Amino acid sequence: MSSIAVDLDAASTMELVHAASAIAAELASRTAPDSAAVCIDLTETLAAATDLHEAALSRLIGTVDRTREVQRWGFPSTRSWLRSRLGMREARAKERLTLARQAHRLPEMTERWATGELSAGYAATIADAVTRLDDHDCGRAETILLGMVDQGFSAGKIAGFGKRIREVIAERDGTEQAPEDVTRGYERSWIDSTRSLDGGRYIKGWLNAEDAAIFDGTLAPLAKPAGTDDHRDLSERTAAALTTVLSGGHRATRVTVICDLDTLTGATTPARLTDGTPIPAAQARRIALNAGVSPLLLGRGNLPLYLGHKVRFATAPQRQVLETLYATCAVAGCEVPGTLCEVDHVHGWALGRSPTDIDKLALTCGWHNRYKHTHPDRLHITKALDGRYTYRLHPPRTGTGAGRATGPPPWGNTPASHPPPTSQAA
């Protein structure tokens, strides 16, 4: 039987974290007691302990975020690190990052959270409510919202009241004093986007005067009624105008549909988009009727054949091939769509080792493309049988020379048949 002995007063933060991790692993493997009454008591106790763990986690994330340490590890942002390395959903990563960034502005809330007097749910609700308030209004809002907690209001009620506080402050700033947004410039423009269950998206936001002028100047002409029989209201026409701009305005939008020749001539074999989304054969034929068809020859195993020459920049047909291979950036865990990525010479064109041949190219987002060429020793590159490359990030080295990297490797638990890669020479 293993045991853990920790002197709470003398132990370092690292020792406490490792002890808590070991206890959590052991607890997760235990079966729940048969008594439901006991389970209720244990659930409440464990939930309170989890809230305290969240308070400690918030402080750790805050330090990582302030120092921008994640960029040394190859992540463009703290949120990207939370999602890719820790496997958090977007909403969870956003919530934890908001807590970490707002903690220093909410001293009373942070203290009550760390001592177990406030749950993580209430803390997250209050932190989100004050995100776009200045320090003065933030302090007043903290007092009001904590008072509501003491009165027994639910987190949902407090979230609604926090939204009302922001609305009141916006009304006040528009009448009693000069709006802060005039002096903050571009900092106060914001847009929140949330996906709905049916695949749609809710959008809300606020634009400062300069951004609003760009918005109006671009969309207003496109949002006018199309004619006397256009019965759409202004909101619907504005949404259509925004979609027009995002898709390239008056320019035709290029959509790559991958299908067999038999599908175009009447077969029922489905086609697919570059991200793997299936397209019914009939729909693929309708798209082909309204667009040019660019044939893409595939070799054995559906590998794209060579389409370019040994020149510096990839040709348009080569990029089309790459977009069929890469739904997202080639870096493992990066979710930037391939259609928004840059063409990357896998082994570096400037080094003379990677001509612009289709089997020596990949798609990477702009941030990771620059990271790859400035930190070539921090990536391990593998190639799959289907021709796709995968870039995996090494943890940064510490100290000088061949100092050992701290922490577990970012690729997680690697199967025995694929041992963790070793650093490549720069």
DSSP 185: G
Cβ pair 329, 364 in contact under 8 A: yes
pLDDT tens column, 285-294: 766 655 555 5
Q: Residue 110: pLDDT band by 50, 70, 90 thresholds?
A: very high
Greatest mean pLDDT among 5-9, 11-15, 254-258, 383-387 lies in 11-15
Helix (H) or strand (E) holding 56: helix 36-67
Lowest mean pLDDT across 72-81, 96-105, 303-312: 303-312
Q: What is the pLDDT of residue 20?
A: 92
For position 196, what pLDDT does the model report? 67
Q: Judge whether residue 418 has pLDDT over 60.
A: no
What does R_g of the chain's alpha carbons equal in angstroms? 27
Could you read off the pLDDT of 308-322 as tens digits, one per residue?
A: 334 455 667 777 778
**Banded model confidence at residue 397, pLDDT cuts 50, 70, 90:** low
Tokens 């052991």 found at:
26
pLDDT, tens only, 336-377: 888 878 888 887 654 444 555 667 788 888 788 878 877 888
Residue pLDDT, tens place only, 120-133: 999 999 999 898 88
Name the maximum alpha-carbon separation found in the chain.
Answer: 81
Domain boundaries in the chain?
37-175, 257-289, 300-393
Are 79 and 85 a contacting pair, CB within 8 Å? no
What would the pLDDT profile of 18-31 be if each residue is shown by its tens digit? Answer: 999 999 999 999 99
Residues forming beta bridges with residue 383, ordered by sequence position: 389
The terminus-to-terminus CA distance of the chain in angstroms comes to 46
Q: Check residue 144 and give its pLDDT.
A: 92
Give the Cα separation of 380 and 330 in Å (integer). Answer: 12
pLDDT category of residue 416 using cuts at 50, 70 and 90: very low
Arithmetic mean of pLDDT, 378-401 = 79
pLDDT of residue 320: 78
**406 pLDDT more than 50:** no
Query: Residue 339: its pLDDT value, please?
Result: 80
Going by C-beta distance under 8 Å and a sequence separation of 6 or more, which residues neighbour residue 398?
404, 405, 406
In this structure, what are the phi and psi dihedrals at residue 380, rounded to the nearest 5 degrees?
A: -120, 125
Pairing of strands 271-273, 257-258: antiparallel
Residue 101's pLDDT is: 93
**Is 101:65 a contact under the CB 8 Å cutoff?**
yes
Look at residue 62 in the predicted model and tell me its pLDDT: 94
- d(Cα 74, Cα 393) in Å, to the nearest integer? 7
Instruction: Kindly report, residue by residue over 51-77, the tens digit of the pLDDT.
Output: 999 999 999 999 999 998 888 888 888
Tens digits of per-residue pLDDT, 194-218?
766 666 777 878 776 657 767 877 7
pLDDT tens per residue, range 149-184: 999 998 888 888 888 887 777 767 654 443 444 333
Contact 128, 165 (CB under 8 A): no
Q: pLDDT tens, 224-266?
A: 776 666 777 888 888 888 877 776 654 444 566 777 777 777 7
8 pLDDT band (50/70/90 cuts)?
confident
Contacts 24+ apart (CB under 8 A), 383-391: 385/301, 386/301, 386/302, 386/303, 386/325, 387/303, 387/304, 387/325, 387/359, 388/325, 388/326, 388/330, 388/362, 389/330, 389/346, 389/362, 390/330, 390/332, 391/330, 391/331, 391/332, 391/362, 391/364
Tell which residue, 147, 77, 121, 144, has the closest CA to residue 334: 77
pLDDT attached to residue 253: 46
Residue 103, Cα to own-chain centre: how many angstroms? 22
- What integer best gives the mean pLDDT of the chain? 76
